[in-house]
Amino acid sequence: MFDYDFMQNAFAAATIVAILAGSVGYFLVLRGQAFAGHALSHVGFTGATGAVLIGVAPLWGLVGMTLAAGLIMGFLGERLAARDVGIGLVLSLSLGFGLLFLHFFTAYATQATALLFGNVLAVDLETVWTLLVLGTLCLLALAVISRPLLFVSLQPELAEAKGLSLRFYSMAFLAIVALATAECAQIVGVLLVFTLMVCPAAAAQQVTTSVLKGIALSAAFALFDAWIGLTLAFYTDWPTSFWISALSAAIYLLAVIYRRVSRFR
């Protein structure tokens, strides 16, 4: 399998994206913002299709559009009700533009399918290096804000009383989520970002309540999904995104079963 350059690139890209998605996804689930990740993935499709129409690489359209949308979502409100309304507004507007771009994008059906469902086997070495740089920046930024982010996520009223800006950390975190979403889309497509961003993190939180262990376990689950999914895709010729999604769902179900069984011990 590793005799092929495209498989080497695929595993390298999947490793970078899985570690980032698992780490960022833990906080995303902890903050109850899974809807934000879902919305940003759809916004990314709008950016990618728009980028192709003007002759720019889809990845940069994904990055630019999701980053802008993430900052807007974070600015519009930290409270749950305001946040949901803000996310809904951004999602509705982006889907409208996406429909318009898709109207002009019909001549590129293959590229549109790759954007929607991902095509990690087509990732080239240049893209791998781009993902590595973006992933490293995201993880460094997450490490810098992780402690106050955890504080404002679990005790928002107390954190605000201590002088921490809820809006600032919301914007900073959703900007990181936006970049992570753009990277995930390269592997599983914009429609299945939930698979790598949310499912491994949700499974980890079923297994442990420790933050550090949870982040590590979430990244490990995401890596397992990506590596085994790629391996199964190579030997079965079934879509990689299908295998990653199926494995991710299976791990979450096993984690739920584990938690329920452990309660009766």
Residue 232 forms part of a structural domain: no
Residue 211 forms part of a structural domain: no
Length of the chain: 265
pLDDT of residue 109: 54
DSSP secondary structure code for residue 189 in this structure: -
Residue-range definition of the domain harbouring residue 45: 5-193
The CA distances from residue 153 to 27, 34, 164, in Å, are 8, 14, 11
Task: Report yes or no on whether pTM surpasses 0.85.
Answer: no
Query: Which CATH number characterizes residue 88's domain?
Result: 1.10.3470.10
Q: Which positions ≥6 away from 230 have C-beta within 8 Å?
A: 7, 10, 11, 14, 120, 240, 243
For the chain, the domain total comes to 1
Q: Which positions ≥6 away from 68 have C-beta within 8 Å?
A: 178
Residue 130 forms part of a structural domain: yes
Residue 209 forms part of a structural domain: no
Give the model confidence (pLDDT) of 147-188 as tens digits: 999 998 888 888 888 888 888 888 888 888 888 888 877 777
Residue 261 forms part of a structural domain: no
Residue 247 forms part of a structural domain: no
Q: Which residues of the chain have pLDDT under 70?
A: 76-88, 90, 98, 102, 105-117, 191, 265
Residue 99 forms part of a structural domain: yes
Residue 51 forms part of a structural domain: yes
pLDDT of residue 142: 94
Among 176, 255, 198, 244, CA closest to 14: 244
Among 244, 250, 226, 248, CA closest to 7: 226
pLDDT of residue 159: 83
DSSP secondary structure code for residue 155 in this structure: -
Q: What is the dihedral of CA 63, 14, 115, 92, to 10 degrees?
A: -50
pLDDT of residue 183: 81
